[in-house]
Amino acid sequence: MRYQTLLMRWALPALLLMAGLAGCSTNPATGQRQLNWISTAREKSLGAEAAPKFVEQYGGDIPSASIQKYVSDIGHRLAAVSERSDLEWEFHAVDSAVINAFALPGGKVFVTRGLMEELKSEAQLAGVLGHEVGHVTAQHIGQQMTRAIIITGIGVGIGVAGQQSDDDWLTVLGVGTSVGGGLYMLSYGRNQETQSDELGVRYMTRLGYNPIGQVQVMKVLKRASGGGGAGPEFLATHPYPDTRIKHLNMIIKDQYPDYKDPQKYRIYRDRYKRTVLNELKRLPSPAHDPANQPAD
Ligand SMILES: [Zn+2]
């Protein structure tokens, strides 16, 4: 405790100062200065190593080639109109009943079956995927991991920004070898969520999806969390639904005043129902469902 106080008061600011000199860069999507120790090459290697482990933890890919292709196509089109189209993007629909979506460094994006079942249109799915693409392009994961690695003290002994090993970073992501088990969920700050919402809207509208889909996703999540018990995981990692709905409505009114024009912005409700919802009903129950697992 005392050590931690000392660390927070003196060592951490000193380290941050050093890091600030060594690891500060300008973000391609937001234009903001950021503290990020993860290079693009490292992002790619970490994402490639961690992605299969995340897929496994979430029940594997949904066993439907048509759903995987659908999600992957929409995801790749969103990534292609983003500021970091050159990453090794991958989009997975994972066979988990939990309601969630998340992204790893290097452009590996995951959406769960639980969340897909709650959605009603392709525009909404594009909103979810666009938001996660936004976390990647804005390099939020690298920034959060940099912060986590400073706070947990991994590499503090070395004290040189950017000298952490792959294992150090994978430990922060919860798939490392030096600390046992458990999924470490990186959580984002309110500003990062708002930023990803805006970026999601930017990318989805470039493809002609109606940005109102993004607002509807927030409402779906808010409703899904209202039924008592534990809320969906997406809200634990993506909080503040009311603030975000308000902010999104403001952005849409301001930047996309013609969003109601059906010639310009599309929803694709039928295509989503046909390709995803009907197909999911034909499949066996999700492979990963924490509600069905016996208590310890
Ligand atoms: Zn988010």
pLDDT digits 0-9 by tens, 173-185: 776 654 444 445 5
Confidence of residue 260 (pLDDT cuts 50, 70, 90): very high
Domain count, the chain: 1
Is 60 exceeded by the pLDDT of residue 228?
A: no
Q: Is residue 270 part of a domain?
A: yes
Ligand 1 centroid from CA 106, angstroms:
16
Ligand 1 centroid from CA 140, angstroms:
9
Ligand 1 centroid from CA 232, angstroms:
13
Ligand 1 centroid from CA 102, angstroms:
7
Residues 6+ apart with CB under 8 A from 37: 19, 22, 23, 142, 145, 146, 149, 161, 162, 164
Helix then strand then coil, % of the chain, to nearest 5: 55, 10, 35
Ligand 1 centroid from CA 190, angstroms:
9
CA end-to-end distance (rounded Å), the chain: 31
CB atoms within 10 A of CB 135: 27
Tokens of 219: 């409402």
Q: Is residue 5 part of a domain?
A: no
Residue among 25, 238, 50 at smallest CA distance from 146 = 25
Q: Is residue 294 part of a domain?
A: no
Domain ranges, residue 155:
17-226+233-285
Q: Is residue 92 part of a domain?
A: yes
In the predicted model, what is the mean pLDDT of residues 11-40? 73
Ligand 1 centroid from CA 257, angstroms:
25
